[in-house]
Structure 1
Amino acid sequence: MEGSKVIINNVDGVRENGSSSDGRPPTPSSAAAYHHCLSSGGTTSLRAKSLVRHPSLVKARSSNIPIEPRLSEDDSDSEYAPLLRSGAWADIGSRSSMEDVYVIADNLMHDYALNNSNARPSAFYGVFDGHGGKHAADFACHHLPRFIVEDGEFPEEIERVISSAFLQTDTAFAEACSLDADLASGTTALVAVVIGSSLVVANAGDCRAVLCRRGKAVEMSRDHKPVCLKEKRRIEASGGYVYDGYLNGQLNVARALGDWHMEGLKGQDGGPLSSEPELKSTRLTEEDEFLIIGCDGLWDVFMSQNAVDFARRRLQEHNDPIKCSKDLVDEALKRKSGDNLSVVVVCFQPQPPPNLIVPRRRVQRSISAEGLKELQSFLDSLES
Structure 2
Amino acid sequence: MRNDNFALFDEDPLGRSINLQSHCYGEFSSAVVQANTTMEDQSQIEVASNNAVFLGIYDGHGGTQASRFICEHLFKNLLRFANDNERFANDNENDITEATLRNAVSATEEGFLDFAKMNYMHQPNLGYVGSCCLAGIIWKETLHVANLGDSRVVIGTMVNKKIRAEQLTRDHNCNDEAIREELRAMHPDDPNVVINDNGK
Count matched residues.
Answer: 164
Choose which of 127, 137, 157 in structure 2 pairs with 1:213: 157
Q: Could you give the per-residue CA deviations for residues 238-276 of structure 1, whole angstroms, max 9, x where no partner exists?
A: 235522259xxxxxxxxxxxxxxxxxxxxxxxxxxxxxx
Larger Cα-atom Rg: 1
Mapped contact 1:211–1:219 kept (Cα < 8 A): yes
1:108 paired to 2:48: yes
Choose which of 132, 136, 148 in structure 2 pairs with 1:192: 136
- Give 1 or 2: higher strand fraction: 2
Partner of 2:8: none
Q: Aligned partners of 1:125, 1:85: CA distance in 2, in Å?
A: 13
Q: Aligned partners of 1:86, 1:171: CA distance in 2, in Å?
A: 31
Which residue identity lines up with residue 38 of structure 2 in the other structure? Answer: S
Q: Could you give the per-residue CA deviations for residues 16-58 of structure 1, whole angstroms, max 9, x where no partner exists?
A: 2123639xxxxxxxxxxxxxxxxxxxxxxxxxxxxxxxxxxxx
Q: Aligned partners of 1:245, 1:193: CA distance in 2, in Å?
A: 36
Q: 1:20 to 1:148 in 2, by over 3 A?
A: farther
Q: Percent identity?
A: 22
Mapped contact 1:99–1:131 kept (Cα < 8 A): yes
Q: Could you give the per-residue CA deviations for residues 165-193 of structure 1, whole angstroms, max 9, x where no partner exists?
A: 11111111122223322271211100010
Q: 1:82 to 1:219 in 2, by over 3 A?
A: farther
Once the two structures are TM-superposed, the CA of residue 229 in structure 1 deviates from its matched residue by: 2.1
1:134 paired to 2:64: yes
Q: Aligned partners of 2:176, 2:133: CA distance in 1, in Å?
A: 18
Once the two structures are TM-superposed, the CA of residue 136 in structure 1 deviates from its matched residue by: 0.8
Once the two structures are TM-superposed, the CA of residue 102 in structure 1 deviates from its matched residue by: 0.4
Q: Aligned partners of 1:242, 1:175: CA distance in 2, in Å?
A: 24
Mapped contact 2:96–2:139 kept (Cα < 8 A): no
Q: Aligned partners of 1:91, 1:132: CA distance in 2, in Å?
A: 18
Q: Aligned partners of 2:96, 2:53: CA distance in 1, in Å?
A: 16
Partner of 1:242: 194
Partner of 2:5: none
**Runs of at least 5 residues in structure 2 that lack an aligned partner in the other structure:** 1-12, 87-93
1:86 paired to 2:18: no
Once the two structures are TM-superposed, the CA of residue 210 in structure 1 deviates from its matched residue by: 0.3
Once the two structures are TM-superposed, the CA of residue 208 in structure 1 deviates from its matched residue by: 0.8
Mapped contact 1:100–1:130 kept (Cα < 8 A): yes
Mapped contact 2:42–2:68 kept (Cα < 8 A): yes
1:123 paired to 2:49: no
Q: Aligned partners of 2:103, 2:166: CA distance in 1, in Å?
A: 25
Partner of 1:14: 14
What RMSD, in angstroms, separates the aligned Cα atoms of the two structures? Answer: 2.4
Mapped contact 1:82–1:197 kept (Cα < 8 A): no
Q: Aligned partners of 1:148, 1:161: CA distance in 2, in Å?
A: 7
User: Which aligned runs of 4 or more in structure 1 are off by greater than 4 angstroms?
Assistant: none
Once the two structures are TM-superposed, the CA of residue 196 in structure 1 deviates from its matched residue by: 1.2
Once the two structures are TM-superposed, the CA of residue 227 in structure 1 deviates from its matched residue by: 2.0
Q: 1:233 to 1:177 in 2, by over 3 A?
A: closer
Once the two structures are TM-superposed, the CA of residue 82 in structure 1 deviates from its matched residue by: 5.8
1:164 paired to 2:103: yes
1:202 paired to 2:150: no
Q: Aligned partners of 2:33, 2:140: CA distance in 1, in Å?
A: 32
1:148 paired to 2:78: yes
TM-score normalised by L of structure 1? 0.40
